[in-house]
A and B are shown apart, each in its own frame.
Chain A
């Protein structure tokens, strides 16, 4: 019985430890990325964003991705990659309205993706 209780305790600690770590990490990674996105969005609105700004944003996202690959399905990461690449192209072409639309979608994804993995009744069922 002691062995069973210990193994149950270890399994439950592992399971809930991993879930707590995952929730915290995913939220913090996307929050940091969202902060950087907001700053770049303002620059794009003011039409003073450059390709270098988007390159820095991409570098930041690459760092976040390394952690996120282990925690969320890669399709979600690929969606962010796609929109970020498009935003970078539009900024390079000085097409700021289109670049702004892509960045706004990215900001939306920064809250939508973590929310999709929260333990809410809508997500469970």
Chain B
């Protein structure tokens, strides 16, 4: 039976390390160790349920071990603040007053499209509606909006340039050409679209532009006649 205890503890710790390594995208609303317990405990209980040749004590001991490990980790998580980042992770500030933090995005295995999707789900349709955005340690997305942000949402912004590449699908949706946006970049002193982290445009000509490693800028450009979305 001590074998079951040791093997359960090893599998539990291994799953915890793996889930933490996979990052916030995979764990939804649970802390990593809670997800591990959810994954493991049902299976452990089911094995002796389904196989009558295995003593029920095997499942009971494994589940008790998981319970004890859960209680210990919860206690450590609550009482030892220095260990909390290792157990549960830390929130990641992916948008700040300067714009998108590319390093934090990459650290969490996310890209601009994921960020914008999270923003929309949270009720913010454009990057300049918010002052700060965080991915919490349980995978949830939260944002601090700018004052009066609801007045900013008048047209849906589309991602035109994403991490140095034109998004051809969105470009075709706008009805505008690459040369139009190349002209905008040249006017703002950006030498190449490859230097752009993100550029979004909405149907009223509002542009959100952030070069890699620089603060974001917003401005409005007149759209060619008949272009709107």
* Chain A residues proximal to chain B, CB less than 8 Å: 1, 4-5, 7-8, 11-12, 14-16, 18-19, 22-23, 69-75, 117-119, 123-124
Cβ-defined contact, B3 with A8, below 8 A = no
Query: Which residue on B lies nearest to A77, using beta carbons?
Result: B53
- A-contact bits for B5-16, CB 8 A (1 contact / 0 none): 111001000000
> For the complex, is B92 an interface residue (Cβ under 8 Å from A)?
no
A88 to B98, CA, bound (A): 86
Cβ-defined contact, A15 with B61, below 8 A = yes
> For the complex, is B121 an interface residue (Cβ under 8 Å from A)?
no
Cβ-defined contact, A4 with B64, below 8 A = no
Query: Which residue on B lies nearest to A8, using beta carbons?
Result: B71
Cβ-defined contact, B2 with A7, below 8 A = no
18 A-B pairs, CB-CB below 8 angstroms?
A: A4-B75, A8-B68, A8-B72, A12-B68, A15-B5, A16-B2, A18-B60, A18-B61, A23-B2, A70-B56, A70-B57, A71-B57, A72-B55, A74-B53, A117-B3, A118-B3, A119-B2, A124-B10
A7-B71, A8-B71, A15-B68 known; A22-B7 Cβ under 8 A: no
Report chain A residues within 8 Å CB of B221.
none
A1 to B6, CA, bound (A): 26
60-96 of chain B: CB within 8 A of chain A: 60-61, 64-65, 67-68, 71-72, 74-75, 78-79
Cβ-defined contact, A11 with B67, below 8 A = yes
Cβ-defined contact, B5 with A19, below 8 A = yes
Give the shortest distance, in Å, between B70 (CB) and chain A (any CB). 9
Cβ-defined contact, B68 with A69, below 8 A = no
Report chain B residues within 8 Å CB of A75.
53
> For the complex, is B22 an interface residue (Cβ under 8 Å from A)?
no
Report chain B residues within 8 Å CB of A7.
67, 71
Cβ-defined contact, B75 with A8, below 8 A = yes
> For the complex, is B190 an interface residue (Cβ under 8 Å from A)?
no
Pairs of residues from A and B, 4 with the lowest C-beta to C-beta distance, nearest first: A11-B68, A74-B53, A19-B1, A19-B2
A4-B71, A14-B64 known; A23-B1 Cβ under 8 A: yes
Give the shortest distance, in Å, between A63 (CB) and chain B (any CB). 18
A75 to B5, CA, bound (A): 21
> For the complex, is B54 an interface residue (Cβ under 8 Å from A)?
yes
A70 to B162, CA, bound (A): 61
A22 to B55, CA, bound (A): 12
Cβ-defined contact, A124 with B53, below 8 A = no
Report chain A residues within 8 Å CB of B75.
1, 4-5, 8
